[in-house]
Amino acid sequence: MATATAPRKSTPAIKQTKHLINNEWVASSDGGKFETFNPATGEVIAEVSAGTAADIDRAVKAARRAVETGPWNKMDAADRGRLLFKLAELVDANAEELSMLESLNSGKTIGDSQGDIAGVANCLRYYAGWADKIEGRTVPVRGNFLSYTLRQPVGVVGQIIPWNFPCAMLAWKWGPALACGNAIVMKPAEQTPLTALIMGRLAMEAGFPAGVINLVNGMGETAGAALCTHPDVDKIAFTGHVDTAKIIQKATADTLKRTSYELGGKSPNVIFADANIDDAVEGAFHAIYFHGGQCCTAGSRLFVEEKLRDEFVEKLAKKAKGRRVGDPMDPATQQGPQVSQEQMDKILGYVALGQKQGAKLVTGGQRVGDRGFFVEPTIFDGVKDEMAIATDEIFGPVVSVLPFKNFDEMLERANRTHYGLAAAIWTKDIDKAHLYAKQVKAGTVWVNCYHVVDTTTPFGGFKMSGHGRENGEAALDLYTELKTVTVKLNP
Ligand code: NAI
Ligand code: MG
């Protein structure tokens, strides 16, 4: 049985709680604040300014000034790159503060937070390198003309991010937006507002001009919604729930903003009996339990070839029972709390529903302890494709084992979902691996590995898992407008 270790006292000083607008820390227009929690204890750790429509408007005006007038819009592209490089260096130099606060506020294990923060620096460095390589083309048009294309910033971009990878999601959105010369108004998740504010402090220290990066914390329904409907915001980039994306799609319709979405998933992780079984067990375990299942790419539908099923489930259950669930600040902990009471309740609700609908609970399914929001690593076997635990994104440490007999049947079932974010296959047979990679409908496919995400490779979803691709060169498309210039050449 998973055990809860006692939460330790560990409180990095919280220096910033206000909005960052025009390189100044400002309180909300109405003085409003909201509480943010330590999910390992349920205790309040800070009160943070709660953004209003007026705060969003102020931030958008600052961003508009930055993007229309100097120094930002006059700055050489190489100098934008230098600022991003500087910010990446400052992230490395402040990695301890950032990762401690990330773990305190989100419940991520300290090791995971350290990995995330190193990833933040890498992402910013990667896009720093892009800043002066965003090029147009000359186009061989008919007639006596010179035609060329320019790639220009979209303008003021609104960025709305979730709580599962607070700092990493910020970097994925800041990196390409800044490399391309946009100005940002970001609304971090209300569950995890704190590390973004440190990033704001570091951005000022790096030397980003006033108004280029603005941070307004607060609720989705108020601050987030005001950003989506603001007539002077050119684009919204969003990561979060499908239902929220639908609201945003409607909210941005009147102003026809550009939008990009990175949403959820119900990713099929497929194990063939010809795989290296120990690697596959390890991989399936990591696929679902990494960050307590709070990953958009979580391998939550575990397709196991029927003849391997009993052995595989037994091995997976043994590992699940031995997982150390507890204080995220303790380096020995393998799984911290879920981010909030709401998320814990949602997960436990799905466990109850799975049992009610007739799936077999192999292990887990309980809250761990009575303090904080911990949930046991959970396995359901005998799951039918149409059960809620097999169709819905649970966003917790709950895996559904779905046995299959042959490739074609598995593929049809793997694709029978409105999601399409990630997929994986474990096999030594290269034909099966490549046929699956080609035919599965997902933006990312892993062969004999899982959760390998790198800032250099495009990331995003098919179907209702999203629009557009973040990371890699692809993200530059999200943050540039393409302009055609045609010049008459008089001979
Ligand atoms: P959410 O989609 O409500 O929140 C994500 C962000 O959107 C937050 O910053 C939130 O304040 C903002 N937001 C919410 N309503 C908004 C609105 N009307 N207009 C503008 N912005 C708005 O997700 P939530 O409620 O935190 O989590 C619910 C579920 O969403 C999770 O259980 C999980 O299934 C899924 N989720 C998926 C994520 C992913 O990485 N794809 C990340 C977080 C949650
Ligand atoms: Mg929500």
Q: Assess whether 449 carries a catalytic annotation.
A: no
Any atom of ligand 1 within 6 Å of the Cβ of 299: no
* Inter-residue contact 77 to 181 (CB < 8 Å): yes
> What spacing in Å lies between the alpha carbon of 212 and ligand 2's midpoint?
27
User: Whose CA is closest to 139, among 150, 130, 148, 131?
Assistant: 148
296 flagged as catalytic: yes
- Residue pLDDT, tens place only, 234-290: 999 999 999 999 999 999 999 999 999 999 999 999 999 999 999 999 999 999 999
Distance (Å, rounded) from C-alpha 13 to C-alpha 272? 49
pLDDT at residue 10, as a whole number: 54
**7 DSSP 8-state letter:** P
Does the pTM surpass 0.95? The reply is yes
pLDDT digits (tens, 9 = 90+) for 186-206: 999 999 999 999 999 999 999
pLDDT digits (tens, 9 = 90+) for 142-181: 999 999 999 999 999 999 999 999 999 999 999 999 999 9
- Residue-level pLDDT at 9: 47
pLDDT at position 11 is 66
DSSP 156-168: EEEEE--SSSHHH
Q: What is the DSSP string of 404-472?
A: ESSHHHHHHHHT-SS--SEEEEE-S-HHHHHHHHHHS--SEEEES------TTS-B--SGGGEES-BST
Q: Rounded to the nearest whole angstrom, what is the distance from the C-alpha of residue 189 to the centroid of ligand 1? A: 8
Alpha carbon of 128 to ligand 2 centroid (Å): 32
Mean pLDDT over the full length of the chain: 97
Coarse DSSP helix, strand, coil percentages of the chain, rounded to the nearest 5 percent:
40, 20, 40
